[in-house]
Amino acid sequence: MTVRIHVAITIDARPASVWDSIEDVARHVDWMADAVSITFRSPQRTGIGTEFECLTRVGPLRTTDVMRITEWAPRSSMGIEHRGIVTGSGRFTLAPSGTAATLFAWDERLSFPWWMGGFIGERAAKPILTRIWRNNLRRLRSQVEAR
């Protein structure tokens, strides 16, 4: 089974400004509370094919999430593939909202291994991750709007 998570927020800035804040993957730790550190595995740091490890912490649990960028459309979308212990895919999308705002959506499809509870672990993780990622988007909004 796969758990699906969707969170979204409206940011009072144009998509280009929001993109400027998410384009540098290494800076995601500035607004993602669950992302402790990012280490690149590939020489490239932007665009399709970029590979990196993200040390992730949720409460007392830590894991290294291995990821690869699979979609890169500046000012529009960024997609990743999770290739570590937890597998799946994620995607950020940016869409204009009104004349000067952006609807930022974050979608994830994740599968947990059996020893992390498999289906039960996925169901238990969904409300926790949803809450963390909603707060992450609030932090991102605060950073973008403070500029």
Question: What is the DSSP annotation of 90-140?
Answer: EEEEEEEETTTEEEEEEEEEEE--GGGTHHHHHHHHHHHHHHHHHHHHHHH
Summarize the confidence of residues 119-136 as an average pLDDT. Answer: 92
Q: What is the pLDDT of residue 57?
A: 94
DSSP line for 40-81: ESSS--SSTT-EEEEEEEETTEEEEEEEEEEEEETTTEEEEE
* Phi, psi angle pair for 94, to nearest 5°: -120, 125
The pLDDT of residue 67 is: 97
Lowest mean pLDDT among 9-13, 61-65, 92-96, 106-110: 61-65
Q: What is the pLDDT of residue 139?
A: 98
Taking 80 as the threshold, does the pLDDT of residue 8 lie above it? yes
pLDDT at 114: 82
Query: What does the pLDDT average to over 27-49?
Result: 96
In a 3-state reduction of DSSP, which class is residue 82?
Answer: strand
Tell me which CATH homologous superfamily contains domain 3-24+68-146: START domain (3.30.530.20)
pLDDT tens-digit map of 86-123: 999 999 999 999 999 999 999 999 998 888 777 788 88
pLDDT at 1 over 80: no
Q: Of the ranges 23-27, 44-48, 96-100, 111-115, which one carries the lowest mean pLDDT score? A: 111-115
Give the tokens for residue 115: 């020893």
Q: What distance in Å separates the CA atoms of residue 92 and residue 104, rounded to the nearest whole number? A: 7
Q: Is 16 a residue whose pLDDT tops 90? A: yes
* Domain range annotation of the chain: 3-24+68-146
Mean pLDDT across 25-48 = 96
